[in-house]
């Protein structure tokens, strides 16, 4: 028997193992020479395997829910900051130091748009 590997078995291998267990359960006189491979031991390992699978699914669902909650609160925070920026503009004006304190450019710091000269067609 090999040491436990670190990568998952394919679904095909696991399906074949499940089918083999069903077949093994239908052999009434199965008495292995090595007690480590007795039906009771294999059934106990199968039960632990199923419990670990269930725990993984619960953990994945919990992670997905936590991720959704984090994204929702990120957007809530972002919308609150955008609202505060609009309030600062309304209260103090577009050329205020308070607006600059939020990381926005003052209106007077912006360059005035200028027209570029048209290239000669000649």
pLDDT tens readout for residues 18-53 = 999 999 999 999 999 999 999 999 999 999 999 999
Confidence of residue 3 (pLDDT cuts 50, 70, 90): low
Model confidence at 110: pLDDT above 80: no
Interatomic CA distance for residues 103 and 98, integer angstroms: 9
H or E segment at 27? Answer: none
How many domains are there within the chain? 1
Q: Are the C-beta atoms of residues 85 and 103 closer than 8 Å to each other?
A: no
Model confidence at 122: pLDDT above 90: no
Asked if residue 115 belongs to a domain, the reply is no
The pLDDT score that the predictor gives to residue 121 is: 65
Q: Are the C-beta atoms of residues 39 and 25 closer than 8 Å to each other?
A: yes
Print burial letters for 88-102: b (CB count within 10 Å at least 16), e (below 16): bbeeeeeebeebeee
Question: How far is residue 8 CA from its own chain's centroid?
Answer: 19
pLDDT per position as a tens digit, 97-106: 899 899 888 8
The parent domain of residue 51 ranges over 13-108
pLDDT per position as a tens digit, 65-107: 999 999 999 999 999 999 999 999 999 998 898 998 998 888 8
pTM for this model (two decimals): 0.65
Asked if residue 120 belongs to a domain, the reply is no
Interatomic CA distance for residues 15 and 64, integer angstroms: 27
Asked if residue 5 belongs to a domain, the reply is no
Q: Hey, is 43 helix, strand or coil?
A: helix
């Amino acid at each position: 028997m090999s040491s436990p590997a670190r990568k998952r078995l394919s679904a095909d291998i696991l399906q074949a193992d499940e089918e083999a267990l069903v077949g093994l359960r239908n052999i009434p006189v199965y008495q292995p020479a090595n007690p480590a491979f007795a039906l009771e031991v294999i059934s106990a390992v199968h039960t632990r395997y199923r419990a670990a699978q269930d725990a993984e699914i619960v953990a994945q669902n919990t992670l997905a829910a936590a991720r959704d909650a984090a994204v929702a609160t990120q957007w809530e925070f972002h919308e609150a900051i955008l609202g505060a920026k609009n309030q600062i503009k309304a209260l103090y004006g577009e050329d205020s130091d308070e607006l600059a304190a939020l990381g926005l450019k003052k209106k007077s710091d912006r360059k005035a748009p200028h027209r570029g000269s048209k290239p000669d067609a000649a």
